[in-house]
Homo-oligomer: A and B are copies of this chain.
């Protein structure tokens, strides 16, 4: 299951992606627009910031902007940042591999074989969908942060 926190993150990012990039967007405005408890949203935005998905500016007239073009922010990255690895077990995770504690033989594990296929299919899909795709934005954005 996707956590509520991840769903909030998506909604917050949608709001940011739609917002005119000329000025940053304040936490309070994102919270209201996306119906997210404000203090909870603060934590989410911090997580997204540490991952480079959003950028912030402090002080008066501060706020948040996307850290990159919406076309460069994938569903996979958002979910990984908030909820952790996509894989159903650590032993099939590409980004957070870990041996299962009680695994007898990873090479022959019948569960692992199938879960690896699932992980790859999931990652393929989530990595190939970006914020821009989801919102039907034009792909023609400059590489760097939105000009104008």
Identify the A interface with B (CB < 8 A). 1-2, 7, 10, 14, 35, 75, 88-89, 100, 102, 110-111, 113-115, 117-118, 121-122, 125-126, 129, 134-135
CA distance A73 to B20 in the complex (A): 53
Nearest CB in chain B: distance from A3 CB, A: 10
Which secondary structure dominates where chain A touches chain B?
A: helix
Given known contacts A121-B121, A122-B118, A110 and B135 CB-to-CB distance under 8 angstroms? yes
Given known contacts A1-B89, A88-B2, A121-B125, A111 and B10 CB-to-CB distance under 8 angstroms? yes
Cβ contact within 8 Å between B118 and A126: yes
Given known contacts A2-B88, A88-B1, A118 and B125 CB-to-CB distance under 8 angstroms? yes
